[in-house]
A and B are shown apart, each in its own frame.
Chain A
């Protein structure tokens, strides 16, 4: 349980970005979904966080499609947040 909490806190910090737009979008996503993210979604989110900010923003805004199918589900949650 404790390790899960810390893992979520790690994701929360890594959601601090260089672009304000991404900070705002990810903050809404975290507030809504972080506590209940599945293992698969957590892994997918972690992978998205490794993207450069501009590429991540393009995905969220629908200006680009993810190269990897497994990212689609969590990306949709981010878009809807």
Chain B
């Protein structure tokens, strides 16, 4: 079967913050760029980012990129690569000022400089005292950033393929990436897009969890594409959680609720945080509270018919305080939990928020894989940026406001590197024969009338399995059981069926394809987590409570083929400064 083909210098998969930043860099340099997005770019999940962009501008107090670097490395629990972290922290001011120049409506100080907010973990002088480092646009930083970048891209004549889903990478016989296969939702047509360089910018895959703050589009499509093309996924055991998402929905209840006196209760009505953190109780740090909640659930003291959540009680605060000091909480509880917190507790559960791992890259955004003695050999023609990539600047845990910074710095860096690459690689490489074979087989399965399971059933089982077995509270036994279950789910995800065989805007078909990607990420997560016998950052093992630098100061690499694990060293050597040696983390 011959498919129609289009040719571009660069193809970018994903129209969120990182994809738009990379596209802009390339389009303004005069290259022809195509950006593929499942939804209109300004409705990408970057829109949900509220906190701000971390940059040591020093507009409020004295600040320095080296202090930002220290906070990031400490936050990463020393799993972050220090070359990439130095690169990011040093570039932070530049990318923020560029965004300002593009018209981003940052909050301002009276003197006209960018106002910077305080944020947890941001410190002066290597942890001495707090510093205000977060640059924001009210509570709509991500939204403002997407709109600013999108307008600028339109001006630069970047070409958008909206409501297209990328299906697979095309690699030639030497392993170079030479384009993608993509599906247009409106027509159901499958096309080949040949490129000199391809950038994956598809965001995170937080939808593998039953409770997730991620939008429905966050299905790890780029991770699935990379894994199917033989590229490993790095550090997939590390996911950031927020303690209080509304059970069954994932919408966050701000930590301010506990600050105002809200308390957590288990099925027995016990204020269990008194046992886990006798002093701080419900105000203990995020990871302590999340883990305690999950342990209560795992040990059978959860609430509800499935015993799968705990309760956040605030009715004792009284209607006046709830309405005055916690605006919006009541409407969130009413809308998403169907309870009125003035009278009833809110069902809550630790909720997945951010993916630290991803497609392995260097700080130019080049995708890198082990080859011979080199643990990080670039794959010709392939780049990955943003949440789908693992540079790794977040290591085992991400510092707040570094996600938007990551998008800007590495989006731009990849754009610059591709520009250089195009100078030395002026011609398109030939497409291999049967370039689209894998994608067409995947679609043919869904077109066939062979019996199979419903996508929603398999999808629900996947999310429940990941939540139960790779949540915040992890043990060897839980993980081993989870690995078995998720392999079975993976098989089922590859044998689903759909009733609607139409080609036009067939949402069921898209969801079946997305599930294949999610199932790959879910398996990578469980297998990597089971193997890592230590506690580091967001990966906390009840049976291995300490960080183990002797054996585990290394990145996990999971391969789809054989569900095999490999490892590569952490880069502890920054670009110009002295290494930050691993220390015990105390906050």
Contacts and interface: CB of A to CB of B under 8 A. Distances in A.
Partners in one complex: yes
Interface of A: 5-6, 9-10, 12-14, 16-25, 52-54, 61
A18 B39 contact: yes
12 contacts: A9-B505, A10-B505, A13-B505, A16-B39, A17-B217, A18-B42, A18-B45, A18-B215, A23-B215, A23-B216, A24-B249, A61-B331
Contact of B504 (A9, A17, A23, A54): A9
- Provide the main secondary structure of the chain B interface: loop
**Residue in B43, B249, B251, B335 with the greatest tally of chain A CB atoms within 10 Å:** B43
B214 interface: yes
B329 to A, nearest CB: 12
B43 A17 contact: yes
Nearest to A18: B47
Interface in B244-286: 249-251
B44 A18 contact: yes
Contacts of A54: 47, 140, 143
- Provide the main secondary structure of the chain A interface: helix
Contacts of A23: 215-216
B354 to A, nearest CB: 13
B327 to A, nearest CB: 10
Contact of A20 (B42, B214, B506): B214
A16 B38 contact: yes
Contact of B143 (A5, A14, A52, A61): A52
B147 interface: yes
B185 interface: yes
A21 B217 contact: no
A6 B504 contact: yes
A69 B217 CA distance: 31
B213 interface: yes
> Which 5 A-B pairs rank lowest in CB-CB distance, beginning with the nearest?
A18-B47, A9-B505, A18-B43, A10-B505, A23-B216
B46 A18 contact: yes
A55 to B, nearest CB: 9
B507 interface: yes
Contacts of A61: 331, 335
A13 B46 CA distance: 19
A60 B517 CA distance: 32
Contacts of B504: 6, 9-10
A58 to B, nearest CB: 11
B238 to A, nearest CB: 21
Nearest to A53: B47
A52 to B, nearest CB: 6
B580 interface: no
Contacts of A20: 48, 212-216, 249-251
A21 B337 CA distance: 12
A45 to B, nearest CB: 15
A20 B500 CA distance: 26
Contacts of A13: 163, 185, 505, 507, 510
B336 A24 contact: yes
B215 A19 contact: yes
Contacts of A16: 38-39, 43, 215-217
B39 A9 contact: no
Given A6-B505, A9-B506, A18 B48 contact: yes
Contacts of A17: 39, 43, 215-217
Contacts of B500: 9
A77 B504 CA distance: 27
Contacts of A10: 186, 504-505
B323 interface: no
Contacts of B491: none
B48 A19 contact: yes
B502 interface: yes
A6 B143 contact: no
Nearest to B140: A54
B335 A25 contact: yes
Contacts of A5: 502
Contacts of A22: 215
Given A16-B38, A21-B336, A53 B143 contact: yes
Nearest to B245: A20
Contacts of A53: 43, 47, 143
B505 A24 contact: no
Nearest to B504: A6
A68 B249 CA distance: 30
Interface in B502-518: 502, 504-507, 510
A34 B527 CA distance: 40
A24 B45 CA distance: 14
B495 to A, nearest CB: 24
A55 B505 CA distance: 25
A65 to B, nearest CB: 16
A16 B249 CA distance: 15
B505 A52 contact: no
B510 to A, nearest CB: 7
**Residue in B48, B140, B249, B510 with the greatest tally of chain A CB atoms within 10 Å:** B48
